[in-house]
Amino acid sequence: MAMALQFDTDVQFVKGVGPKLGDVFRRRGIARVQDLLEFYPRAYEDRRAIRQIRSLVPDQLVSIKAQIQKIRSFNLGKSRRKVYDVVIGDASGRISCKYFRVPYKGYFERFQPFQEVRVIGKVTQYRGVLEFHHPDIHPITEDEENTNELISIYTEIEGQSSAKIARLIRSVLSSEHPIPDPMPFWIVKENGLLPLDRALQEIHVPKLEEADAFLNFQAPSQRRLIFDEFFMIELHMALKRAGVEKEKSTPIQAQGLWPQRLEASLEFELTGAQKRSFAEIISDLRKPHPMHRLVQGDVGSGKTLVALLAAAFAAEGEMQTALMVPTEILAEQHYANASRRLAPLGMRVALLTSQVKGKERAVILQALKAGEIDVCIGTHALIQDDVEFAKLGLVIVDEQHRFGVEQRNKLKAKGLSPHFLVMTATPIPRTLAMTVYGDLDVSVIDELPKGRQPIVTRKTFASKRDLVMGFVRDQIKKGRQAYIVYPLVDESETMDLKNALEEYTKVKAEFSDFSVGLLHGRMKSSEKDEIMQGFRRNEIQILVATTVIEVGVDVPNANIMVIEHAERFGLSQLHQLRGRVGRGEYKSYCVLVLGYALSEEATKRAEIMESTNDGFKIAEADLEMRGPGEFLGTKQSGLPGFKLGNLVRDIKILQEARAAAFALAARDPDLKRPEHQMVRAKLESFHKMWVG
Task: Flag the least confident range among 406-420, 495-509, 569-583.
Answer: 406-420
Q: Do domains 257-445 and 456-612 have the same CATH topology?
A: yes
Task: Flag the least confident range among 97-101, 144-148, 422-426, 668-672.
Answer: 144-148
Instruction: Give how far Cα 567 sits from Cα of 133, 472, 550, 563, Å.
Output: 18, 21, 16, 9
- What class does CATH assign to 456-612? alpha beta
- Each domain of the chain, given as residue ranges in start order, spans 179-246+650-692, 257-445, 456-612
Q: What is the pLDDT of residue 22?
A: 87
pLDDT over 70, % of the chain:
86
Q: Residue 559 and residue 450: Cα distance in Å, rounded?
A: 19
481-485: strand order across its sheet: 456-461, 589-594, 558-564, 481-485, 542-545, 516-519
Residue 376: strand pairing partners: 322, 350
Q: Determine contact, residues 417/392, Cβ cutoff 8 Å.
A: no
Split at pLDDT 50, 70, 90, the class of 132 is very high
Q: What is the pLDDT of residue 46?
A: 72
Split at pLDDT 50, 70, 90, the class of 4 is low
Residue 142 pLDDT greater than 70, yes or no: no
With a CB cutoff of 8 Å and minimum separation 6, the contacts of 162 are 118, 120, 136, 138, 152, 153, 154, 155, 156
- Please return the burial class of 1, using the count of CB atoms within 10 Å of its CB with bins 0-12, 13-18 and 19+: exposed
Q: What is the pLDDT of residue 483?
A: 94
pLDDT greater at residue 355 or residue 313: 313
With a CB cutoff of 8 Å and minimum separation 6, the contacts of 105 are none
Q: Per-residue pLDDT tens for 603-628?
A: 888 999 999 888 888 888 887 776 65
Q: What is the pLDDT of residue 2?
A: 46
Split at pLDDT 50, 70, 90, the class of 493 is very low
pLDDT greater at residue 638 or residue 668: 668
Q: What is the pLDDT of residue 67?
A: 93
Specify the pairing of strand 136-139 against strand 116-126.
antiparallel
Q: What is the pLDDT of residue 258?
A: 95
What average pLDDT does the segment 207-232 reach?
89
With a CB cutoff of 8 Å and minimum separation 6, the contacts of 692 are none
What average pLDDT does the segment 184-205 reach?
93
pLDDT greater at residue 47 or residue 587: 587
What three-state secondary structure class fits 625? helix
DSSP 94-141: EEEEEESS-SSTTTGGG--TT-EEEEEEEEEEETTEEEEES-EEEE--
pLDDT greater at residue 275 or residue 631: 275
The overall average pLDDT reported for the chain is 84
Task: Flag the least confident range among 306-320, 539-553, 624-638.
Answer: 624-638
Q: What is the pLDDT of residue 242?
A: 78
What average pLDDT does the segment 251-280 reach?
93
Q: What is the pLDDT of residue 638?
A: 45
Residue 78 pLDDT greater than 70, yes or no: no
Q: Where are the beta strands (DSSP E) in 611-662?
A: none
Q: Determine contact, residues 445/302, Cβ cutoff 8 Å.
A: yes
Which homologous superfamily does the CATH classification assign to the domain defined by 257-445? P-loop containing nucleotide triphosphate hydrolases (3.40.50.300)
| Dihedral angle, C-alpha 597, 562, 522, 82, nearest 10 ° | 0
Q: Residue 350 and residue 378: Cα distance in Å, rounded?
A: 9
